[in-house]
Amino acid sequence: MDWTDYDAALFDLDGVLTPTAEVHMRAWDVMFNAYLEGRDDHQRPYTEQDYFDFVDGKPRYDGVRSFLASRGITLPDGTPEDASDLETVCGLGNRKNDAFSAVLRDEGVTPYPASVALLDDLRARGTAVAVVSSSRNAPAVLAAAGLADRFEVVVDGQVAAAAGLPGKPAPDTYLYAAQQLGVTKERSVVLEDALSGVQSGRAGDFGLVVGVDRGAGEQALLDGGADVVVRELDELIAR
């Protein structure tokens, strides 16, 4: 890859820089299956495929809505301040976040070595970098992974909400990050492991959209809008 064609790299966080996507997956599994088991309409269990189809890469409450809609379940939205034991979209989302925060606190997180290698290479080249994550936990994850000082711009779920930006697969959060870095979308690279994320990069007409296959599948990422798919980010270091 010739990085001289680009001024910036815009990274998703969970599953691209850190293996926290696995923690999110476990937290969603625990929360949704406990909720479904408590219903009296004999819902089939939540599965890993449900995660990739309805939840992966989306803002937390959007993921709840999307999965519930797939099962024909309607709940009141509630508010982000809802207690985690409430049967609202926000209550379920907050219940999932409690589980995620507990794992992050107890186990910590180590970034992917290949992703750190690419960050090192980009820093040496002077390429601007940003994190664009749907998660409101992004600053805590970056701090736990020792990456907090690596990024000039972090656009997370809280920043998006404050700026009134729709979440992925809309392109707005990535476009906002490029704007904050002072670069054009045409000279920016989006790096994403989620289908909704590559759709976001494609919708924004960025210079290059890189899919990172952590389970979504190479063809699904290509079909979603990725220009190229890799398994590890050090494949993008010019040799």
Q: 115: closest CA among 196, 200, 230?
A: 230
Catalytic residue among 14, 82, 172, 193: 14
* C-alpha to C-alpha distances, 102 to 8, 23, 27, 99, 135, nearest whole angstrom: 33, 10, 10, 5, 15
Dihedral of the CA atoms 76, 162, 154, 218 (nearest 10)?
40
Token pair in block for residue 141: 């994850």
Respond yes or no: is residue 77 known to be catalytic. no
Respond yes or no: is residue 156 known to be catalytic. no
**189 - beta bridge partners?**
9, 208
Determine the Cα angle at 157 with ends 229 and 127, to 5°: 50
Catalytic residue among 2, 5, 7, 12: 12
Burial of 26 (0-12, 13-18, 19+ CB in 10 A): middle
Return d(Cα 9, Cα 201) in angstroms, integer.
12
**What is the C-alpha R_g of the chain?**
17
Active site residues: 12, 14
